[in-house]
Amino acid sequence: MPVWMCIGLVDTITPPSTFFAAYNRLTCDKEIAVSRNYGREGFPGSIVPRLQLFMDVLQNEAAV
């Protein structure tokens, strides 16, 4: 299953280094979005890629 990760570099709860470590260990199809100005709250423009990935996964599951 594909993964799309959204990382805010000013996240004060989960250090961004943990996201990068997890991302680097993934062996599936993956994409990453990084924002230097946001933290845990997410950032503008992140909803469209998430919804697109979700729709792609659902369509692939329906085709099987």
- pTM over cut 0.75: no
Assigned token pair, 24: 């680097």
Distance CA 21, CA 16 (A): 9
Residue 5 bridge partners (DSSP): 32
- pLDDT of 20 reads 95
pLDDT digits (tens, 9 = 90+) for 3-31: 888 888 988 888 899 999 999 999 999 98
Q: Are 7 and 16 in contact (CB under 8 A)?
A: yes
More confident residue, 50 or 8: 8
